[in-house]
Amino acid sequence: MLTLYHAIPSRSSIVRWMLEEVGEPYEIRLLDLQAGDNRTPGYLAVNPMGKVPALDHDGAVITESAAICAYLADAFPHANLSVPIGDKQRGTYLKWLFFGPSCIEPAVTDRAFPRKEEARRGTLGHGDFDTVMDVLTAGVSKGPYLLGDQFTAADVVIGSGLRWGMMFKLISARSEFTAYVDRLNARPALKRAQDKDAAAGQGRQNS
Ligand SMILES: N[C@@H](CCC(=O)N[C@@H](CS)C(=O)NCC(=O)O)C(=O)O
């Protein structure tokens, strides 16, 4: 049994998309972050960070969206969303999985909340915003996906960051980015995840 602790809108939509790509049945536990559902003792026992997403898989709890995506890709190999150990492409796959939370996210949040004092480039794990964008541009430009023809969990992680950054105009719409995001938007699993989130959000408004 797979249970996603989810809030709409939030980073847990990354995992909902991933679950739709995997195609296994899952349940949603919807949290209201405004109401503080993520700060209750019950939820802090699930994720002491007090954040969504968290995934429960038969009693095993995984947190951190990129880790959850990597976990699901390995746990359900039939979905072909991972690059197996021993495959030369696995290094590239892992690089992109980690590039999301360790480079794109800090680069974009730095832009959203500028520092009072510029940090030295060498001390920042992501270096600087422009280099992150240039590396990302090179990564997505060949296509159709980061690993070529195979769509993987890394596309869910990187694609989600890119879609989010572009939506809030924190990442400029380079032609390579829009072409890649258009390919992702055409995926039925992403569409299903968005439709289900929209329906759940609507239901909450009406209740
Ligand atoms: N590094 C975490 C970040 C998760 C995160 O920051 N989630 C936000 C929603 S987008 C949250 O739960 N915020 C509630 C809070 O911190 O009070 C991940 O990628 O899973």
pLDDT digits (tens, 9 = 90+) for 139-180: 999 999 999 999 999 999 999 999 999 999 999 999 999 999
Q: Which atom of ligand 1 is nearest to the CA of 49?
A: 16
pLDDT at 176 (0 to 100): 98
Residue with CA nearest ligand 1 atom 20: 64
Threshold 0.95, pTM exceeds: yes
Window from 37-41, 80-84, 203-207 with minimum mean pLDDT: 203-207
* Averaged pLDDT of the chain: 96
CA of 7 to the centre of ligand 1 (A): 10
Pocket of ligand 1 from Cβ distances under 6 Å:
10-11, 33, 38, 50-53, 64-65, 101
CA of 10 to the centre of ligand 1 (A): 7
Distances (CA, A) of 79 to 50, 60, 73, 139, 164: 30, 20, 7, 23, 25
CA of 87 to the centre of ligand 1 (A): 32
Length of the chain: 207
pLDDT at 79 over 60: yes
pLDDT at 63 over 60: yes
Determine the Cα–Cα distance for residues 138 and 123; give it in Å rounded to an integer: 24
CA of 35 to the centre of ligand 1 (A): 15
For 61, list phi and psi in degrees, rounded to 5.
-100, 130
Q: Could you tell me the pLDDT band of residue 203, with boundaries at 50, 70 and 90?
A: low
For 150, list phi and psi in degrees, rounded to 5.
-85, 125
Cβ atoms of 205 and 197 closer than 8 Å: no
pLDDT at 206 (0 to 100): 59
Cβ atoms of 11 and 52 closer than 8 Å: yes
Q: Could you tell me the pLDDT band of residue 118, with boundaries at 50, 70 and 90?
A: confident
Share of the chain above pLDDT 70, in %: 98
Pure H helices in the chain: 12-22, 41-46, 65-75, 90-99, 105-112, 129-141, 153-167, 175-185, 188-206
Pocket test for ligand 1, best of 16, 29, 52 (most atoms within 8 A of CB): 52
Q: Which residue has the tokens 């290094």?
A: 91
DSSP state of 104: I
Q: Could you tell me the pLDDT band of residue 202, with boundaries at 50, 70 and 90?
A: confident
pLDDT at 194 (0 to 100): 97
- Count how many Cα atoms sit within 13 Å of the Cα of residue 39 in the half-sphere of its side chain: 4
CA of 102 to the centre of ligand 1 (A): 14
